[in-house]
Amino acid sequence: MTALTVTLRNDLQGYLLTGPGSGEALGAASLPQPEQRLSAMEQAGALVARTGTDEFMVFLPEGHPLPVHNWCFRRADRVLAVRGDNWHELMARVCQFDFRTFEPGGWLMASVAGVNCWLYRTKNDDTLLVGVGDGFHRYLETLFNELACELQDSNTHEGGAS
């Protein structure tokens, strides 16, 4: 059983590309271009989500070249990585979405504990990435860590009379 962990991904920088030519700018920067709205793709540590017809949210690891585009804006998102066997159960306590149906590679925008977030389930290591505005990441990180402790305790102590 893998312990539930919550970590802040300081290595990702977020950007919004919007307007005509944004898809071509992704291609020129060797980044994937998701075809459907509200879908995402990951490649070489980068994550690209299509949020509109000509709009993309891009999260790049340090050192990755930035797409060159007139309408490329820095985002102040903070990204939390939730890993471990019980992340579905943790999310069931803070979000109405049924994460048992959330496939690897899935992208979702939802309210988590009353905070608007984007969520992405990685394909390779079953990590849930939770993107949130800079002002809310400490709140969610603290809440997630407290819930992880509660879940760990409930799995360790099954109760019953002795």
CB atoms inside a 10 Å sphere around CB 102: 17
**Is residue 149 domain-shared with residue 89, that is, in the same domain?**
yes
- Specify the pTM: 0.91
CATH of the domain at 136: 3.30.1360.120
pLDDT digits (tens, 9 = 90+) for 111-146: 999 999 999 999 999 999 999 999 999 999 999 999
Report the distance separating Cα 27 and Cα 32, nearest Å.
Answer: 7
- Asked if 85 and 137 sit in the same domain, the reply is yes
In which domain, by residue range, is 47 found?
13-75
CA distance 141 to 143: 6
In a domain, 97, yes or no: yes
Q: Are residues 41 and 103 in the same domain?
A: no
Residues with Cβ within 8 Å of 123's Cβ and at least 6 positions away in sequence, in order, are: 42, 104, 105
> Does 149 share its domain with 81?
yes
CA nearest 6: which of 125, 87, 61?
A: 87
C-alpha 99/C-alpha 88 separation (Å) is 6
The whole-chain average pLDDT of the chain stands at 93
